[in-house]
Amino acid sequence: MFRAVVEALSTWLVPILLAGIPLFALARGVKVYPAFVDGAKQGFETAVRIIPPLVAIFVALAMLRASGAMDAATRALAPVTGRIGIPAPVLPLVFVRPLSGGGALGVVGDVLASSGPDSYAGRLASVMAGSTETTFYVLAVYFGAVGITRYRQALPAALLADLAGFASAVVMVRFLLGGP
């Protein structure tokens, strides 16, 4: 039942938004087309902006794989990563995600290319990246804006939230999309 609801959400949410938002906007008298084109331009700029970090991470991971270092690390870490349900290729994401948004996309892209987007590893990497944020960047921007240097509980709370996001990503992917 629960699973069916979430599945329906995954299938229907995008089409509903695609039709519903322009309809709603039209009814409110918004100039829908120019607004769309203007926003889409921003999407283009975003895609260009993430090319450099994507290149950096892709090259590093490809070099690690070609050198044999990735295989060695995978073999060494397999017992640990297997137990917590995070395959070795996805593991870098746990460390990169809070530090760099572009870097995280690079890891996700690498996993999607090497393991396949519809594999367990590919789905897990997608959900882990899609359900967490670039924690250190967010904290630096917002606290920096008001000159706060003592974050108090914000940092541990944010990191705990990241951990919870990663752990629940493992659970949700296994439960909703199938295990490894």
Partner 1 sequence: MGAIWTLLLAIAVVAAAVNGRMADLTAAAFDAAGKAVVLSIGLTGVLALWLGLMRVAEEAGLVRLLARLARPAMRRLFPSVPPDHPAMGAMLMNFSANLFGLGNAATPFGIRAMQELDALNPHKGTATDAQALFCALNTASVQLVPATVIGLRAAAGSRAPAEILGACVLASACGVAVAIAAAKLLGRLFPPPAPAAPAGGEG
User: Which residues between 60 and 99 bind partner 1 (CB under 8 A)?
Assistant: 60-69, 72, 95-96, 98-99
Nearer to partner 1, 10 or 80 (CB): 10
Half-sphere exposure of 170 (CA within 13 A, CB side): 16
Binding partner 1 by CB under 8 A: which of 94, 103, 120, 121?
103
User: Which residues between 142 and 171 bind partner 1 (CB under 8 A)?
Assistant: 142-143, 145-154, 156-158, 160-165, 167-169
* Residue 93: Cβ within 10 Å count: 24
For the chain, what is the largest distance between any 2 Cα atoms, rounded to a whole number of angstroms?
60
Q: How far is the CB of 148 from partner 1 (least distance, A)?
A: 5
Binding of residue 54 to partner 1 (CB under 8 A): yes
Q: How far is the CB of 95 from partner 1 (least distance, A)?
A: 8
Q: From 100, 110, 82, select the one nearest 137 (Cα to Cα).
A: 100
Nearer to partner 1, 90 or 96 (CB): 96
Q: What is the DSSP string of 49-102?
A: HTHHHHHHHHHHHHHHHHHTHHHHHHHHHHHHHHHHT--GGGHHHHHHTTT-HH
